[in-house]
Amino acid sequence: MLMELDLNKFRTLNPVNELFEESLLFLAEHARIERQPYSTVVCDIGKQRHTALYLMAGKVLLIDDDEKQQLISAGSERALSPLLNAGPAKYRIQVASNIATFVRIDQSLLYRLLSWEQLSPDEPAVSEEELTEGPSLEDSQWMMAMLQTKAFRKLPAANIQSLFEHMEEITAEAGEVIVSMGDPGDYFYVIKEGRCRVSLPSTSGEMVLAELGRCSSFGEQALISDQPRNATVSMLTQGKLMRLSKDDFIRLLEKPLLDYLSYERCMAEIHAGAIPVDVRFRSEFEKKKLKNAINIPIQHLRARIQNLDASKTYILYCNNGQRSTTAAFLLSQQGFNVHVLEGGLLHA
């Protein structure tokens, strides 16, 4: 994308021009360029949009509900701001030149980058040259990759900044065991570089459950449930890990991502179309369950996430809330809209 995008023009856009240079380049790499011929309707009134649209070259007409027209030329003051923001379109946009070039930007990513920089204690305020400096290139790339993960999209900007500040970097060698099955939970881990293997002991030596790559996380279940580690995680390659202590994990990650509801509110959500998910064992599920609930034991959840509809709302529950809290955190990390039955069935 950087090959096609005119970065000099991109730097002039509002509020892109407020970003540190590294953040700006990251946003540019995730932008999308389009070219449309004369009279093409790029967007119609009322259409739901998830990106901000900027005019980079050519001319367009903005046409409102009353058919009033405004001609916008690339490079003009008006073109420095989005023609349309994310949300329902307020104008019909029609190309008024032989060809027009647009750039689409993930507006939520832009705002996260801006918020992160404004909160950063490292943000300089000395010379004009230093205003484009931020974290190191390596750290910027990792942090911005994390900002793109589904879990971070739900976190307040202040939590994201505090999260980075409280994470500790450790190096690890290929074959090194990071957590062992049966150990108490002490840290939540995110892979900064390298790959890890999740396994269980078996009669043949070990059973591999999963392989994890850059920006993947592990270790949350033992922290949430306050139970021993339920699997062993070891390094497949040399790498770097970022770890967060249990107390900081609960304060900065678990609580902001989870939404606990009373039994009455859960029933109202289910009546409105939410899907109840029982994360207990099948034997427990068959003895007592919520009406219309589906059963996905927590140990099967990662494998079955791909079968869930991300457009739906889910109510997760178990007996006392421990397993459902862990399951809800895992789904929240993947961008699902989930609630937890507070206290579980024992308090229903």
Q: DSSP for 167-222, please give it.
A: -EEEEE-TT-EEE-TTSPP-EEEEEEES-EEEEEEETTEEEEEEEE-TT-EE-HHH
Q: Which fold has domain 163-252?
A: Jelly Rolls (2.60.120)
Across the strands, what pairs with 207? 200
Q: Looking at the chain, which residues constitute the CATH 2.60.120.10 domain(s)?
A: 7-109, 163-252
Domain 258-347 annotated CATH 3.40.250.10: yes
Say yes or no to pLDDT of 125 above 60.
no
Across the strands, what pairs with 99? 37
pLDDT digits (tens, 9 = 90+) for 222-245: 887 778 888 899 999 999 999 999
What's the Rg (C-alpha) of the chain? 24
pLDDT digits (tens, 9 = 90+) for 255-312: 777 889 999 999 999 999 999 999 988 888 988 899 899 999 887 888 888 899 989 9
Mean residue pLDDT of the chain comes to 83
Say yes or no to pLDDT of 121 above 50.
no
Tell me the two tokens of residue 47: 């259409």
Q: pTM of the full predicted structure? A: 0.54
Mean pLDDT score, 35-62: 91
Give the per-residue pLDDT at 116. 58
pLDDT digits (tens, 9 = 90+) for 270-285: 999 999 999 988 888 9
Tell me the two tokens of residue 10: 């991109």
pLDDT digits (tens, 9 = 90+) for 165-213: 888 999 999 999 999 988 999 999 989 999 999 988 776 777 888 889 8
d(CA 185, CA 236): 21
Say yes or no to pLDDT of 126 above 60.
no
Between 11 and 135, the more confident residue is 11
Query: In this predicted structure, which of 8-12, 75-79, 147-151, 215-219 has the lowest mean pLDDT?
Result: 147-151
Across the strands, what pairs with 35? 101
d(CA 146, CA 221): 20
**Long-range residue pairs from 133-139, CB within 8 A, at least 24 positions apart, any chain:** 133/20, 134/20, 134/21, 134/22, 134/23, 135/22, 137/22
pLDDT digits (tens, 9 = 90+) for 129-176: 433 344 555 666 677 767 666 667 667 666 777 788 888 999 999 999
Q: Looking at the chain, which residues constitute the CATH 3.40.250.10 domain(s)?
A: 258-347
Say yes or no to pLDDT of 122 above 70.
no
Mean pLDDT score, 95-109: 90
In this structure, CATH architecture of domain 7-109: Sandwich (2.60)
